[in-house]
Amino acid sequence: MDSTSHGENTYVADTKSAAEIVRLINQDRAATQVMGGPLAGLPAALRKLLSRAGYTDIHTAWFGADSSADTEGWADFYHNYEIGLLQLKPLLITLDLTKPEEFEKLYEQALLEMRDPDFTCMTDAFTVWGNSPQ
């Protein structure tokens, strides 16, 4: 990690450290498990809501989305985060989770890291579909 000064609520991960990445993945898994699993309850809830709205033949599917630097999905992932992070900025500042100057530095760092040829990203995704009521 570099010795740059960061705010007290800022954690900078050493993205070049395999041990740090494994620690963060394990921390994420533990938090997800405590919450009941990835998107806990969402598939059943959506199925029920669609059924109440008159949809029929309802299906759900889970899949992993690889948005690593060398994949077809990378460009969409990058642009979604480029926009999405900016949309979160007012909320993060309002909640005093960051300052405008700190956000800008972290935002630029995130974009830079996502453009790294070694960038890897795997996310869980969920979809639901059915026949709409006539």
Predicted TM-score (pTM) of this structure:
0.55
Q: Which letter does DSSP use for residue 106 in this model?
A: H
Instruction: Note the pLDDT of residue 3.
Output: 45
Predicted confidence band of residue 105 (pLDDT cuts 50, 70, 90): very high
**Residue environment code for 80-110, b if the CB has 16+ CB neighbours within 10 A, otherwise e:** ebeeeeeeeeeebeeeeebeeebbeebbeee
pLDDT per residue as tens digits for the range 24-79: 666 766 666 666 666 566 777 888 888 888 999 998 887 788 899 999 999 999 99
pLDDT per residue as tens digits for the range 17-26: 667 666 766 6
Interatomic CA distance for residues 15 and 19, integer angstroms: 10
Phi and psi torsions of 34, nearest 5°: -60, -35
Output the CA–CA distances (angstroms, integers) from residue 128 to 16, 57, 64, 65, 117, in the order listed: 37, 11, 15, 16, 33
